[in-house]
Structure 1
Amino acid sequence: MSGDDQDAATSAQPVLRVVKGDPTPEELAALVAVVAARNAAAAHAAAAAARPRPRSEWGHPVRAHRTPHRVGPDAWRRSAWA
């Protein structure tokens, strides 16, 4: 590590800071795990929101342009050939 890298690493502000109390290392590890999981869930939700959702074909406008049903003998057979 060069001198500039060491200075940047030592002068960096901590992400979490204990203001009151004296937590054990296990309690700090649990807190870090919860914060990391929360950040990961937020990042996953943001990535999922950015992905386009597939369009439902049920309400597609093309479905409104179907041919009308024909009346008469063998109409059920001719309806397949619309």
Structure 2
Amino acid sequence: MTTAAESVLRVEKGLADPEELAAITAVLLARAAAQPADAPAAPRGRNTAGWRRLERTPGFRAPHSWQG
């Protein structure tokens, strides 16, 4: 039978002491508590891509074109 502590964290590589697991748990809980749950989303910037979509460009460009 597994305890609650064994099902919350899993050590992938190496051996972790109970003190190390308690320390990382405290850090993770402190970080989660520091960020408000209803924080407004960061502004996204512009809605259009900063690069050209090649499928929307004409197939031929003149050799003296500045776009090529």
TM-score bracket, normalised by the shorter chain, equals: 0.3 to 0.5
TM-score, normalised to structure 1's length?
0.35
Which protein has the bigger helix share? Answer: 1
Higher Rg of the two aligned structures: 1
TM-score (norm. length: structure 2): 0.42
